[in-house]
Structure 1
Amino acid sequence: MSRALVLDTETTGFDPATGDRVLEVAAVELVNLVPTGRFYHQLIDPEREVPEEAAKVHGFTWDMLRDKPKFAEIAPALLAFLGDDPVVAHNAPFDFAFLDFELKKAGHPVIDRARMVDTLVLAKKRFPGLPNSLDALCRRYGIDNSMRTAHNALLDVQLLAQVYLELMGGKQPDLALASAPRVAAPAAIELDAAPVARAPRPVVPSEAEIAAHTAFLGKLKDPVWATLLGGGEKPGG
């Protein structure tokens, strides 16, 4: 069994070194590249004002988050859900940098970068020179992202899980077969009685039918059907 977690964060800005904080984190569990239905999602009090430009991206303000738990309170549950398995994210260094900052601040070890899988890097290798944002990849793979009117970590990880499956080779052909009910092979059909012997009844054309056919072939250039006539001669020849 191969387990991985697809993760996304929303933040107050671009750089934790300048005081920006995580305000939402979500992760979905994959087993053998398929979502299991298990997920982790938490809104977080960022303990600071959310700049207007950031709020326009994800729709969250500090007033909406003041009553949510702080990152230090949710860190144990998040780490337990992530376990020791690979963590997949789009532009993963961004998310890992924020998680590093928050985990250190809360007194926890950071997530080993060896576990990091960056779908942006995978997409750039697959589609060099093309747009490789999450929206662009959804359009390229025909994944419905019409509900993505704002950045939302839980929705984004659900979309990214589908993108990651495609980047890793697409839907596995045996998935549908594995989940479909097995159908027994049909039993051999047994005859109720021995086959009835029938005398052949060849169809013999009349002289008039032969003459009409010959006249029709005479209108064609080198008809292959002429060889079926006696001697293989062309009609009228």
Structure 2
Amino acid sequence: MRQIVLDTETTGIDPKEGHRIIEIGCVEVVNRKLTGNHFHVYINPGRQIEQEAIEVHGITNEFLADKPVFKDIAQDFVNFIRGAQLVIHNAPFDVGFMDHEFSMEPSTRTVKTADICTVLDTLVVARQMHPGQKNNLDALCKRYGIDNSHRELHGALLDAEILADVYLLMTGGQTKLRLAGENSDSDTHAQAIRRVQRNGNKLKVINASADELAQHEARLDIVEQSGGKCLWRATGSEE
């Protein structure tokens, strides 16, 4: 399954007031593995950015003055996301802006995000898993032990990368990108692991309680609802 973890930055909070997208960041995940493939672009919105928005993302009008306008990147963007499942935190915000941008250009006027992609809102998933708690990206990073100390301001590509880590951990475990020829400390550590002797004392088996089994099944339900294949249940059905 191909998923695109996506984030945008904008000139303000409401496209109905004429606000535009100024940055798009996407990272690709295939079969729950980060591929290293991404789409990232800054966009000249043709209008002023609200000061409140600049304080959030730090992108200025001067910085965007020589950047392409949306129509110049629209087709490349559509080609990158077409057919994928978009993974977005608070999806209605980003999708609303995307559909607004598509509607303003002749080449994409007939495009609707829902017609070319499916959408998974990680905010909805987080609220189901952690009801009554804070579920913004910073809170989720803290909850899942993800270091986002380098995130002083919002940025579409940075936030998409962080969200990819959050999503994979939140829905059953993360597979990090490993480049060919790369070594890691974990590989060295793994080679030094001492194996348990076969003639050692018999290990004590503690069976899960009924409540623990119910919690396990509830977690598997969430994995399936997120669009991923639940390998535990698939394995169990074949035995």
Deviation, 1:158, is: 0.4
Q: Structure 2: state its 5+ residue gaps.
A: 192-239
| Residue in structure 1 matched with residue 42 of structure 2 by the alignment | 43
Q: Structure 1: state its 5+ residue gaps.
A: 184-237
Larger radius of gyration: 1
Does 1 or 2 have the higher relative contact order (CA < 8 Å, sep 6+)? 2
> What is the TM-score of this pair, normalised by structure 2?
0.70
User: What is the CA RMSD across the aligned residues, in angstroms?
Assistant: 1.8
Name whichever of 11-20 and 106-115 sits farther off. Answer: 106-115
> What is the TM-score of this pair, normalised by structure 1?
0.71
Superposed, 1:95-106 pairs within 5 Å as 95-106=94-105
SS at 2:163 equivalent: helix
| Residue in structure 2 matched with residue 146 of structure 1 by the alignment | 149
| Residue in structure 1 matched with residue 112 of structure 2 by the alignment | 110
Name whichever of 162-171 and 56-65 sits farther off. Answer: 162-171
Separation (CA, whole Å) in 1 of partners of 2:39 and 2:86? 13
| Residue in structure 1 matched with residue 158 of structure 2 by the alignment | 155
Measured against aligned partners, the alpha-carbon deviations of 1:172-212 in whole angstroms (never above 9, x if no partner) come to: 6xx9xxx98xx9xxxxxxxxxxxxxxxxxxxxxxxxxxxxx
Deviation, 1:100, is: 0.2
SS at 2:113 equivalent: coil
SS at 1:117 equivalent: strand
Separation (CA, whole Å) in 2 of partners of 1:167 and 1:97? 25
| Residue in structure 1 matched with residue 126 of structure 2 by the alignment | 123
SS at 1:128 equivalent: coil
| Residue in structure 2 matched with residue 16 of structure 1 by the alignment | 15
Superposed, 1:39-78 pairs within 5 Å as 39-78=38-77
Deviation, 1:34, is: 1.6
Measured against aligned partners, the alpha-carbon deviations of 1:64-87 in whole angstroms (never above 9, x if no partner) come to: 101100011101111111121101
| Residue in structure 2 matched with residue 7 of structure 1 by the alignment | 6
Measured against aligned partners, the alpha-carbon deviations of 1:115-159 in whole angstroms (never above 9, x if no partner) come to: 011000000000000000001000100001001000000100000
Deviation, 1:171, is: 3.2
Deviation, 1:106, is: 1.3
Verify: 1:165 aligned to 2:164, yes or no. Answer: no
Which among 131, 139, 143 is matched to residue 136 of structure 1?
139
Separation (CA, whole Å) in 1 of partners of 2:66 and 2:153? 22
Calculate percent identity across the aligned residue pairs.
46
| Residue in structure 2 matched with residue 26 of structure 1 by the alignment | 25
Separation (CA, whole Å) in 2 of partners of 1:44 and 1:16? 15
Deviation, 1:51, is: 1.1
Name whichever of 104-113 and 61-70 sits farther off. Answer: 104-113
